[in-house]
Structure 1
Amino acid sequence: MPLTDHMPDLATLEVLEAISARGSIGAAAADVGISQQAVSQRIQAAERLVGVPLVVRGRTGSRLTREGELVLEWSQPVLDGARRLRSSLATLADTGAGPLRVAASQTISEYLLPGWLHRYGELGGDPVALSSGNSEQVLERLADGRADLGLVETPELPSRVNRSTVGTDRLVVVVGSSHPWADRSDPVTAADLAATPLLLRESGSGTLETLTTALAAAGLHPADPAAELATNSAIRAAVRTGLAPSVLSELAVADDLATGALLRVPTSGLRLGRPLTALWRGRLRGSARRLLDVASSGRRHPEG
């Protein structure tokens, strides 16, 4: 009897991996590109096959059972091997295709892409031509064919474009040690943040879009900024002076928070998480698939 008659198929294993990473059936369905109904059907079929519950559904989301986590742990080498096989097979059609053109938004290109590219190179990936800008500029390069793969953190994504969530990020409110909020004991509310002139990224950045979306969910709009700056580094330097608060990626301020150069201000009533998304049009060439697999390999790591 074939092996596949005794074990869940690869698509089902990917579903379990996505549920473990994302904590909900809906998010897992979006990650693997199938409907929620199809995800539920795959889970039910797998549970019948192995004879134990694999997923627990709750009011706040879904999680793997202890047995489900064991199945995922045992299947991880199978998934990793399948991804390497997929990448290798795809490279057969890539001979002479030229460098992989990657466009990445600033937060990803500064804090995540260097590690991804190092691992990609270790796996024998093709040369990469990298361009960096805000999320809007990345989407423009993808739309007009100047990029094979786009990496963005904006929540607003175009329709009719292939996508895969490669991770998550979180925005945090930060101030310098001389700012009045540095000694604040109560959390900053959405209304507080909306009423305060902030140091912000420029229009078109994923950071600004995420903040605007979070405030809009509370029926609010950000006040006119204290200043608009084009890079995370420039904003961090300005915040350190005590000029005004800012809202930045946790990745961008991790070192400053560790040294005390910036202070994190607790918030309430705000949802400042955001997906990190890979985008492409048409067929994904083998080298792009290899980089996508590298980026996705850290998806199961919990947020800090």
Structure 2
Amino acid sequence: MDPKVSYFQTFIIAAKTKSFSKAAKRLGITQGTVSNHIAALEKFFDAQLFLRTPEGVDLTPEGEILFERAEKILDLINEAKMLMRAIHENPEGVIRIYASTTPGEHVLPSIIKEYKNQYKNVDFEITITDSKNCYKALEEGLADIIAVGYLKNENYDYTIIGKDRLVLIVPPNHPFTKREYVRLEDILKEDFIDREEGSGTRETFIKALNEKGYSIMDLNIVMRLGSSSAVITAVSEGYGISIVSEIPAKKAENAGLVKIVPIVDFDVVRYLYLIKSKRPKNPSAVKSFWEFVNR
């Protein structure tokens, strides 16, 4: 078995005190433990390191060689620890994030802005894509962190960064705007604008439809688009209705582009997640950002 760092520390104290018992007392361990540490080093180096004397122990020539270098080894280890601590306290470099539309465009920016007020030397490389590609980037090592609207399974190292609701949006002049609410079956009769396959919003929507006894095939889909902003634009121009995240939907409604209409029998709530890679490219920066988000 290779020796541990603590064995070298034991060796140095024993060499300086010229006594296993004094070394044990200074280190707060038993004399037997000191002997075991020295024996492990002697086995590893295939050399006798100490000679026993009436007064205690003296270094052998081999022990002298190790003593000179062991102190340097420990000095280098301590220097490395201090440098690593400095990096943790003042991280720098780039964090690669792949994000789906809703968390990437509407949640992450404020989190990153607040983080960078404290850690100015960390930059972010953000790629907006669908959730399927986010997970693919995580698995292929292209992303340090992903931000998505659904969790594939609970084996990931994840944290919740927001709560979202899926809502129905219609053009401002649509007949649904004159109604207090609609039912799910009313939507099935309308031209529907769908998100692309791989979208977290779409995955959540399909799951909720299935739980109500419907499928995506029951919708009258007239087009599929690659982002919530594209869907909102298409709805505002009268191409159909859609189900999107409430966060961008409210912004679009406030701008007069669409109207949100409640669905009385279809209330879908989801969480937004950050998921961390097990092997990030910049561990210290990712660690500081992760701790910041979870503070």
CA distance change for structure 1 residues 257 and 292 in 2, over 3 Å: closer, same or farther?
A: farther
Rounded to whole Å, the distance in 2 between the matches of 1:188 and 1:291 is 42
CA distance change for structure 1 residues 149 and 89 in 2, over 3 Å: closer, same or farther?
A: farther
The equivalent of 2:288 in structure 1 is 290
Q: Deviations over 1:182-221 (max 9, x none)?
A: 2223x22233334543112111001111111111111111
CA distance change for structure 1 residues 189 and 290 in 2, over 3 Å: closer, same or farther?
A: farther
1:211 and 2:209 correspond: no
CA distance change for structure 1 residues 218 and 147 in 2, over 3 Å: closer, same or farther?
A: same
The equivalent of 2:147 in structure 1 is 151
Rounded to whole Å, the distance in 2 between the matches of 1:91 and 1:149 is 19
The equivalent of 1:120 in structure 2 is 115
- After TM superposition, give the deviation of residue 159 of structure 1 in Å: 5.0
Tell me, which stretches of 5 or more residues in structure 2 are unaligned?
A: 1-83
CA distance change for structure 1 residues 94 and 121 in 2, over 3 Å: closer, same or farther?
A: closer
Aligned residue pair count: 207
CA distance change for structure 1 residues 252 and 296 in 2, over 3 Å: closer, same or farther?
A: farther
Rounded to whole Å, the distance in 2 between the matches of 1:199 and 1:90 is 51
CA distance change for structure 1 residues 118 and 175 in 2, over 3 Å: closer, same or farther?
A: same
Larger radius of gyration: 2
- After TM superposition, give the deviation of residue 124 of structure 1 in Å: 0.8
Rounded to whole Å, the distance in 2 between the matches of 1:127 and 1:151 is 16
Rounded to whole Å, the distance in 2 between the matches of 1:90 and 1:254 is 43
CA distance change for structure 1 residues 112 and 95 in 2, over 3 Å: closer, same or farther?
A: closer
Q: Deviations over 1:116-148 (max 9, x none)?
A: 111111111522222110111100000111111
Identity of aligned residues (%): 26
1:251 and 2:247 correspond: yes
Q: Deviations over 1:202-245 (max 9, x none)?
A: 11001111111111111111314121011222211111122211
The equivalent of 2:157 in structure 1 is 162
Rounded to whole Å, the distance in 1 between the matches of 2:268 and 2:287 is 29
| Counterpart selection for 2:172 from 147, 153, 177 | 177
Is the contact made by 1:152 and 1:206 (CA closer than 8 Å) also made in structure 2?
yes
1:274 and 2:270 correspond: yes
3-state SS in 1 of match to 2:207:
helix
**TM norm structure 2:** 0.63
- After TM superposition, give the deviation of residue 94 of structure 1 in Å: 9.0
Rounded to whole Å, the distance in 2 between the matches of 1:94 and 1:139 is 29
The equivalent of 2:71 in structure 1 is none
Is the contact made by 1:167 and 1:296 (CA closer than 8 Å) also made in structure 2?
no
- After TM superposition, give the deviation of residue 281 of structure 1 in Å: 3.2
Tell me the amino acid that sits aligned with residue 149 of structure 1. Answer: I
- After TM superposition, give the deviation of residue 104 of structure 1 in Å: 0.9
